[in-house]
Structures are given as structure tokens and as C-alpha cells.
């Protein structure tokens, strides 16, 4: 078996390509990470090199000590992941203190893991905890319609959640917990990582104003599907607002309550306010 035959690598590569095809990854935009299972590690163990440097993460993630992640590379293009995976993605391990990482496979022509590694790992740490270990995928993309919304709406969780839920019947079922919104911040560092991690305690979606979106999922399909659903709702929002200043009719709070009964999801009342 070659390392590229491993199912988790194939799914990672396919998702990166799917995101590129959607138009969410201009140039080196966006990044993807997957927290590997013990079985994944055992499967590809012979391909790992443990002689590289241990490098500061830029934050500490003690609850991820010793864990392995498959991640995209900094400055690498999603467009190239499928053609040359070992040049564009890598496997890293977090050290015992949770403050450093080592590249153990990939990035064969040099480079580093994603510039958003602090956000990815802090999101993984909090999601691992609140999901009892089920959430394994963190995905960051630059979808245009969600970004456009952050120029016209107040940057409040309640406002974004409600507008997105109103845009299609499936939305409140796909992200019943709602979405978090973060004001514009400098990308790449610990501050934006902390702000994102705070939202991820509650939500599976964090929108970065004038930048993009983070989604968390138990597997690749869940994380990609969430990104896709939120961005589709945002696209409908942009189309509606492009046609008329105000909606003529919409999905009402009572309609949303009826959906929650039918589909057995709990929609927090704070999103169902009267306008
Ligand atoms: O270039 O998306 O946020 C990668 C990014 C940084
Ligand atoms: Zn970005």
C-alpha cells in the first residue's frame, strides 16, 4: 500500500479539489485540517519521518498533545493539491506540551503547515472536547457571498443566523446551532484563533468579516456540506437583496419552529426574535 492509497488522504485531497472547483480558494486562499485516528496513524506509520525540527505553533493546545494532523501547506494552492499532494499537504504531530509541531510527511519541496495553524488547532482542541472526540475536520475557505454579507449586516450572531435560516428550508436543519460572526481581525495569529475558538464552543460555523468562514465537521462530507449550505444561503441572500431592498415574504419564526418540530432539531429562541 502506498500512502496515497490511505482513505483519509484520498478524502482530504478530494475535498480540497471540491473547494477549488467551487471557487472558494483563489491563489493560496483557505486551508484544511484533519485530526487523524489511531488507525490512520498505524496505517501510514512507515512513511513518517521524526527527525525534523520541532517548531512553535504560536499558541498552546495541551489537549492535542501527541496527536497527528493532515493539513494543507502555507502558501500552497488548493488548485494543486490533487495533482501534487506531497508538495502541498503534510502530516504534523503536536508535541507532548502542546506548544510545538513537527512535519513528518509531505511538503517535499519545503514549506510549513497553513498560516492559520493556530486557529485550526485551537478549533480542533475545543471541538474535540465539546463533541467527545467526534469532530475531526476543520475547514477554512473564502466563499464570496458570505464575505459580501459581512459588508451589509451588523456583525452579530443572531442577525446572520436568522438571515441565513430564512434563505432556504434546509438551513435551520443543517446548522440548528446557528453561526458565529467575528469582526475583522488580522489573519494568521493567536488573537483571531482565540476569537474563533470561543465561537466554536457553541457553533460549527464561524464567519470572519471581510475574509471568509471556518466550518467544523465529524468528517469531510459534514464540513464541506456545511460550508456549501451556508454559502448557498448567502448566495440567495445576495440575489434577493440585489432584486429588492426588503423581502416581500419569508420563512417566519413560526415556520422555523414548525421545522424544528418536524425534524427534531432545537432552534434557540434567541434567533427567533420578531423583527
Ligand atoms: O492564505 O486563507 O487566512 C490562507 C488563508 C489565510
Ligand atoms: Zn483565509
Give the closest ligand to the alpha carbon of residue 30.
Answer: 1
Ligand 1 centre from 115 Cα, in Å?
A: 7
Report which of 9, 4, 79 is spatially closest to residue 37, judged by C-alpha positions: 9
Percent of the chain beyond pLDDT 90?
100
Ligand 1 contacts CB of residue 72 (under 6 A): no
Residues 139-184 have pLDDT tens digits of: 999 999 999 999 999 999 999 999 999 999 999 999 999 999 999 9
pLDDT band (50, 70, 90) for residue 22: very high
116 tagged catalytic: yes
- The residues whose Cβ lies within 5 A of ligand 2, an ion, are 212
Alpha carbon separation from 195 to 6, 25, 35, 198 (Å, rounded): 34, 23, 21, 5
Q: Which atom of ligand 1 is nearest to the CA of 30?
A: 2
Ligand 1 contacts CB of residue 115 (under 6 A): yes
Ligand 1 centre from 116 Cα, in Å?
A: 7
Ligand 2 centre from 130 Cα, in Å?
A: 25
Residue 246 sits at the vertex; the CA angle it makes with 244 and 251, to the nearest 5 degrees, is 115
Number of structural domains found in the chain: 1
Ligand 1 centre from 30 Cα, in Å?
A: 5
Alpha carbon separation from 246 to 154, 160, 238, 241, 243 (Å, rounded): 16, 16, 12, 7, 9
R_g over Cα of the chain: 19
CATH code, 198: 3.40.225.10
Query: Quick one: pLDDT at residue 1?
Result: 81
Residues 193-242 have pLDDT tens digits of: 999 999 999 999 999 999 999 999 999 999 999 999 999 999 999 999 99
Q: Residue 213's domain spans which residues? A: 3-271
Q: Which atom of ligand 1 is nearest to the CA of 141?
A: 2
Residues 57-87 have pLDDT tens digits of: 999 999 999 999 999 999 999 999 999 999 9
Q: Which atom of ligand 1 is nearest to the CA of 208?
A: 3
Which is catalytic among the residues 67, 116, 125, 231?
116
Q: Provide CB contacts within 8 A for 255, sequence distance 6+.
A: none
Amino acid at each position: 500500500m502506498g500512502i496515497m492509497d490511505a482513505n483519509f488522504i484520498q478524502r482530504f485531497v478530494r475535498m480540497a479539489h471540491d473547494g477549488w472547483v467551487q471557487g472558494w480558494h483563489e491563489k493560496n486562499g483557505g486551508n484544511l485540517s484533519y485530526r487523524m485516528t489511531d488507525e490512520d496513524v498505524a496505517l501510514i506509520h512507515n512513511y513518517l519521518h521524526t527527525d525534523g525540527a520541532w517548531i512553535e505553533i504560536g499558541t498552546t493546545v495541551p489537549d492535542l498533545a501527541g496527536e497527528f494532523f493532515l493539513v494543507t501547506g502555507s502558501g500552497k494552492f488548493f488548485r494543486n493539491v490533487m495533482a501534487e499532494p506531497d508538495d502541498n499537504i503534510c502530516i504534523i504531530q503536536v508535541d507532548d506540551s502542546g506548544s510545538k509541531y513537527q512535519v513528518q510527511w509531505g511538503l517535499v519541496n519545503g514549506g510549513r503547515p497553513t498560516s492559520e495553524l493556530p486557529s485550526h488547532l485551537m478549533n480542533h482542541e475545543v471541538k474535540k472536547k465539546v463533541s467527545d472526540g467526534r469532530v475531526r475536520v476543520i475547514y477554512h475557505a473564502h466563499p464570496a457571498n458570505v464575505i459580501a454579507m459581512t459588508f451589509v449586516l451588523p456583525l452579530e450572531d443572531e442577525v446572520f443566523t436568522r438571515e441565513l435560516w430564512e434563505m432556504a428550508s434546509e438551513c435551520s436543519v443543517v446548522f440548528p446551532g446557528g453561526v458565529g460572526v467575528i469582526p475583522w481581525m488580522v489573519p494568521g495569529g493567536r488573537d483571531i484563533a482565540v476569537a474563533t475558538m470561543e465561537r466554536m464552543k457553541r457553533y460549527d460555523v464561524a464567519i470572519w468579516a471581510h475574509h471568509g468562514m471556518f466550518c467544523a465537521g465529524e468528517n469531510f462530507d459534514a464540513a464541506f456540506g456545511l460550508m456549501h449550505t451556508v454559502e448557498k444561503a448567502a448566495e440567495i441572500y445576495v440575489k434577493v437583496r440585489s432584486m429588492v431592498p426588503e423581502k416581500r415574504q419569508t420563512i417566519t419564526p413560526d415556520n422555523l419552529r414548525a421545522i424544528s418540530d418536524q425534524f427534531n432539531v432545537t432552534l434557540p429562541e434567541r434567533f427567533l426574535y420578531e423583527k
